[in-house]
Amino acid sequence: MANNETNGTRRKLELKKTQILRGFDAYKRVLENSRIFSTDLLLGYLNTENLDEVSSPLTTKDTAPRELTNLVKVGFIISKKKVKKATMRNYGKRLMKEAYRLNGDFFLTFPVPAI
Protein backbone atom coordinates (compact mmCIF):
# COMPACT_ATOMS: atom_id res chain seq x y z
CA MET A 1 0.00 0.00 0.00
CA ALA A 2 1.63 3.23 -1.14
CA ASN A 3 1.19 6.41 0.83
CA ASN A 4 2.10 9.97 -0.01
CA GLU A 5 3.08 12.40 2.72
CA THR A 6 2.24 15.99 1.86
CA ASN A 7 2.18 18.69 4.52
CA GLY A 8 2.06 16.07 7.26
CA THR A 9 -1.08 14.37 5.91
CA ARG A 10 -1.18 10.86 4.56
CA ARG A 11 -3.45 9.74 1.79
CA LYS A 12 -3.73 6.42 0.05
CA LEU A 13 -2.53 6.22 -3.51
CA GLU A 14 -4.84 3.50 -4.72
CA LEU A 15 -8.24 3.07 -6.30
CA LYS A 16 -11.15 2.77 -3.90
CA LYS A 17 -12.72 -0.68 -3.73
CA THR A 18 -15.98 0.85 -4.98
CA GLN A 19 -14.18 1.88 -8.20
CA ILE A 20 -12.88 -1.60 -9.03
CA LEU A 21 -14.87 -4.24 -10.87
CA ARG A 22 -14.86 -7.40 -8.73
CA GLY A 23 -15.91 -11.00 -9.30
CA PHE A 24 -16.29 -13.38 -12.22
CA ASP A 25 -19.97 -12.55 -12.78
CA ALA A 26 -19.29 -8.81 -12.94
CA TYR A 27 -16.59 -9.31 -15.59
CA LYS A 28 -18.79 -11.77 -17.50
CA ARG A 29 -21.67 -9.26 -17.57
CA VAL A 30 -19.38 -6.52 -18.88
CA LEU A 31 -17.80 -8.75 -21.53
CA GLU A 32 -21.20 -9.93 -22.81
CA ASN A 33 -23.14 -6.63 -22.81
CA SER A 34 -20.63 -4.01 -23.88
CA ARG A 35 -19.45 -1.94 -26.78
CA ILE A 36 -15.89 -2.80 -27.80
CA PHE A 37 -13.11 -0.34 -28.60
CA SER A 38 -9.75 -1.64 -29.73
CA THR A 39 -6.24 -0.53 -30.60
CA ASP A 40 -3.13 -2.53 -31.34
CA LEU A 41 -2.31 -2.82 -27.64
CA LEU A 42 -5.61 -2.50 -25.78
CA LEU A 43 -9.13 -3.80 -26.00
CA GLY A 44 -11.71 -1.71 -24.14
CA TYR A 45 -15.24 -2.64 -23.15
CA LEU A 46 -17.83 0.00 -22.30
CA ASN A 47 -20.93 -1.09 -20.44
CA THR A 48 -23.47 1.65 -19.71
CA GLU A 49 -26.11 -0.53 -17.98
CA ASN A 50 -25.75 1.24 -14.62
CA LEU A 51 -25.74 4.69 -16.18
CA ASP A 52 -29.31 4.53 -17.56
CA GLU A 53 -30.92 6.25 -14.58
CA VAL A 54 -28.55 9.22 -14.86
CA SER A 55 -29.55 10.04 -18.45
CA SER A 56 -26.17 9.47 -20.09
CA PRO A 57 -23.92 11.48 -17.76
CA LEU A 58 -20.75 10.80 -19.70
CA THR A 59 -22.00 12.93 -22.58
CA THR A 60 -23.07 16.00 -20.61
CA LYS A 61 -20.59 18.68 -19.69
CA ASP A 62 -22.55 19.92 -16.64
CA THR A 63 -21.98 16.69 -14.68
CA ALA A 64 -18.83 16.89 -12.60
CA PRO A 65 -16.43 13.97 -13.18
CA ARG A 66 -16.16 13.41 -9.42
CA GLU A 67 -19.89 12.58 -9.31
CA LEU A 68 -19.42 9.98 -12.03
CA THR A 69 -16.63 8.10 -10.28
CA ASN A 70 -19.25 6.55 -8.01
CA LEU A 71 -21.00 5.09 -11.07
CA VAL A 72 -17.96 3.99 -13.05
CA LYS A 73 -16.04 0.83 -12.23
CA VAL A 74 -12.87 -0.33 -13.93
CA GLY A 75 -11.29 -3.72 -14.30
CA PHE A 76 -8.15 -4.84 -16.06
CA ILE A 77 -7.39 -8.20 -17.65
CA ILE A 78 -4.09 -9.23 -19.20
CA SER A 79 -4.14 -12.43 -21.24
CA LYS A 80 -1.89 -15.29 -20.21
CA LYS A 81 -1.31 -15.94 -23.93
CA LYS A 82 0.25 -12.50 -24.37
CA VAL A 83 2.15 -12.20 -21.07
CA LYS A 84 3.28 -15.55 -19.66
CA LYS A 85 4.57 -14.55 -16.22
CA ALA A 86 2.02 -13.68 -13.53
CA THR A 87 4.37 -11.10 -12.03
CA MET A 88 4.46 -9.20 -15.31
CA ARG A 89 0.67 -9.43 -15.71
CA ASN A 90 0.19 -8.07 -12.18
CA TYR A 91 2.73 -5.32 -12.81
CA GLY A 92 0.88 -4.31 -15.99
CA LYS A 93 -2.45 -4.22 -14.14
CA ARG A 94 -0.91 -2.10 -11.37
CA LEU A 95 0.37 0.37 -13.96
CA MET A 96 -3.04 0.59 -15.65
CA LYS A 97 -4.81 1.09 -12.30
CA GLU A 98 -2.37 3.85 -11.38
CA ALA A 99 -2.85 5.54 -14.77
CA TYR A 100 -6.61 5.44 -14.28
CA ARG A 101 -6.34 6.68 -10.69
CA LEU A 102 -4.26 9.67 -11.75
CA ASN A 103 -6.23 10.47 -14.91
CA GLY A 104 -9.71 9.08 -14.18
CA ASP A 105 -11.35 12.50 -14.33
CA PHE A 106 -9.82 13.01 -17.76
CA PHE A 107 -11.30 9.74 -19.07
CA LEU A 108 -14.75 10.58 -17.70
CA THR A 109 -15.00 13.83 -19.68
CA PHE A 110 -14.98 12.03 -23.04
CA PRO A 111 -18.35 11.62 -24.74
CA VAL A 112 -19.63 8.09 -25.21
CA PRO A 113 -19.37 7.24 -28.92
CA ALA A 114 -22.46 5.72 -30.51
CA ILE A 115 -21.54 2.40 -32.12
Domain regions of the chain by residue span? 15-107
Give tens-digit pLDDT for 100-111: 888 877 766 666
For the entire predicted model, the pTM comes to 0.63
Give tens-digit pLDDT for 36-69: 888 877 788 877 776 554 444 444 555 555 555 5
Give tens-digit pLDDT for 15-40: 788 888 888 888 888 888 888 888 87
50: exposed, middle or buried (C-beta count within 10 Å: 0-12, 13-18, 19+)? Answer: exposed
Determine the pLDDT at residue 77. Answer: 87
Quickly list DSSP for 82-111: T---HHHHHHHHHHHHHHHHHHHHHHHTSP
Residue environment code for 59-70, b if the CB has 16+ CB neighbours within 10 A, otherwise e: eeeebeeeebbe
Q: In 3D, which of 35, 61, 63 has the Cα closest to residue 49? A: 35
